[in-house]
């Protein structure tokens, strides 16, 4: 609330610096938060960035339920469908993909298409950023926008598990590389 502490009274907040268990961490307009400030270098210039962004008092920020409560769902918010994520392209800002819904479902409306769009905010990667996917079996809900478009909601792996994130893929690659180095550096076995 104190003005003049940060230049122009604004600081950049990267979504992954928000302390949250939401599937895609975000903030609401005019929300009061607390955070640490870190100096980061971007394109050769130094800038300030908010880190460990939480509610005032330090509790995690959770706005997903409020956002979801404003949506209109096909069959209800907790109804899950299965299908195949044909592809997901993780573009900076707004990634997207399409899901082919498995046949045989009875809906509470007649106009549900066989393929629906999914966007980054509905890819449940356990709070991480989605990676590129192709031909992946998934589970999801369906919601309808105010313009009547059908979209996937809370897309997970079959069984409800979070999808792999780009961060987990990078960590796995690093661990595999370190493991390979460790194996290579292991002492030879001595046979007695």
For residue 157, the model assigns a pLDDT of 96
DSSP structure string for 135-185: EEEEEEEEEE-TTS-EEEEEEEETTSPPPPBHHHHHHHHHHHHHHHHHHHH
Is 63 in contact with 27 (CB distance < 8 Å)? yes
Of 174, 171, 163, the closest CA to residue 24 belongs to 163
pLDDT of 7 higher than 90:
no
**pLDDT higher at 185 or 147:** 147
| pTM of the full structure | 0.73
Mean pLDDT for all residues in the chain = 85
Residues 104 and 101: their CA atoms lie apart, in Å, by 9
Lowest mean pLDDT, pick from 29-43, 95-109, 136-150: 29-43
* Percentage of the chain modeled with pLDDT above 90: 55
Digit-coded pLDDT (tens) for 57-71: 999 999 988 889 999
């Amino acid at each position: 609330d104190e003005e003049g502490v940060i230049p122009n009274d604004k600081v950049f907040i990267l979504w992954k610096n928000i302390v949250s268990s939401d599937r895609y961490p975000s903030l609401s307009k005019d929300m009061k938060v607390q955070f640490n400030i870190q100096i980061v270098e971007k394109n050769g210039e130094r800038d300030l960035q908010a880190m460990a962004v939480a509610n005032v008092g330090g509790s995690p920020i959770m706005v997903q339920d409020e956002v979801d409560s404003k949506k209109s769902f096909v069959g209800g918010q907790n109804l899950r469908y299965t299908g195949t994520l044909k592809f997901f392209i993780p573009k900076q800002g707004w990634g997207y993909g399409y899901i082919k819904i498995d046949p045989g479902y009875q809906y509470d409306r007649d106009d549900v298409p066989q393929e629906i769009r999914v966007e980054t905010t509905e890819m449940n990667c356990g709070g991480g950023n989605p990676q590129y996917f192709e031909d992946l079996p998934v589970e999801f809900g369906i919601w309808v926008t105010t313009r009547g478009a059908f979209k996937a909601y809370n897309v997970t792996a079959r069984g409800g598990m979070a999808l792999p994130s780009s961060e987990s893929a990078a960590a796995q690659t690093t661990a595999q590389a370190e493991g390979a180095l460790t194996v290579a550096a292991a002492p030879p076995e001595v046979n007695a």
